[in-house]
Amino acid sequence: MSIETRVKLFNRICAGVLIAFALLWLMPLLWALDTALKPNAETTRTTWLIDDPTLGAFSRTLRETDILRWFGSSLFIATLTAVGAVLTGSLAAYALSRLRFRHRNLVFWFVLAGIMIPGQVLIVPQFREMDSFGLLNTFWAVSLPQIPTAIAVFIFKQFFDGLPRELEEVARMDGAGFLRIYRRIIMPLARPAVAAVAIFTFVGSWNDLLWPLLVLSNPDIMTVPVGLATVQGSFGIRYADTMASAILGAIPLVAVFLLFQRNIVEGIAGTGLKG
């Protein structure tokens, strides 16, 4: 065999193995969908074939659970968190990147220290704090501790440091203030960083379980993960209904993923290159 045919054969085998793994990885999601399309009684037969396909499980889930309300809670909390993280993070990063002031490095290191603290370590004191503020069972209790993320400041600062300064100098000479420069020049240029921070904060906030589980005990304002955690118990052996609720719970994030695939993948790849 010539080298060329050997390489071609090798690439074929690679593609084959990869496709097999990809199908294996899609299997749980497809099986969940398959189960959700069966009537509950049919789910006890482990087969991909569906005798009597129905959307009944989905309509029952929508009727019997508060899943639409959970969507509302999650959407509000995740949006508030993402907007807050982008705004506070970019403002702070602008000062750290462009302004000269005393103890600038000290402030930067103080912020960086936050990256080392895993949020999970803080649940006990944060809970007591929210309790004493009277904020338990409010959206604020979930969102506020998630807004100041040191990593967002870090990402924005890296990005701002890489932007050319000429435009700002011209604007300065025309008498523009810092806030105007931040709003009109820096932020429009920083779209990729805004997208990365916004998407990651949004998804992280949407998916968080431990913290909302602690501070939201009122079923009326539960987030999607907290609500879904109660489904297993309430649906029991109604497997089609359980899978329908899992799929409904997955849909918003699958949509986010399909819309922002490029930003998400590049955002993760970015951490790798910085590493």
> Hey, which residues between 123 and 162 contact other proteins (CB under 8 A)?
123-129, 144-145, 147-148, 150, 153
Contact flag: residue 170 with other proteins (CB under 8 A): no
Of residues 61, 196, 231, 263, which one binds other proteins by CB under 8 A?
231
Query: Minimum distance between the CB of residue 53 and other proteins, rounded to whole angstroms?
Result: 18
List binders of other proteins among 64-123 (CB under 8 A).
Answer: 84, 87-89, 91-92, 94-96, 98-102, 104, 107, 111, 114, 116-118, 120-123
Distance CA 227, CA 139 (A): 15
Give the count of residues interacting with other proteins (CB under 8 A): 102
Q: What's the closest the beta carbon of residue 154 comes to other proteins, in angstroms?
A: 12
Nearer to other proteins, 72 or 148 (CB): 148
CA distance 197 to 190: 11
Within 209-228, the residues that bind other proteins by CB under 8 A are 209-210, 213-214, 224-228
Measured from the CB atom, is 118 or 134 closer to other proteins?
118
Rounded CA separation 160/95 (Å): 10
Per CB under 8 A, the list member of 59, 165, 180, 184 interacting with other proteins is: 165
- To the nearest whole angstrom, how small is the minimum distance from the Cβ of residue 67 to other proteins? 12
Rounded to the nearest 10 degrees, what angle do helices 150-161 and 67-98 cross at?
50
Q: Does 250 sit near other proteins (CB under 8 A)?
A: yes
Q: Residue 39 or 114: which CB sits closer to other proteins?
A: 114
Contact between residue 67 and residue 130 where contact means Cβ atoms under 8 Å apart = no
CA separation (Å) from 135 to 16, 126, 208? 54, 11, 18
**Contacts to other proteins from residues 21-60, by CB under 8 A:** 21-23, 25-29, 31-32, 35, 43-44, 46
Site string for other proteins, 175-194 (x = CB under 8 A): --xxx--x------------
Beta carbon of residue 55, minimum distance to other proteins (angstroms, whole number):
18
Distance separating alpha carbons of residues 193 and 176, to the nearest angstrom:
24
We find the least distance from the C-beta atom of residue 65 to other proteins, in angstroms, to be: 12
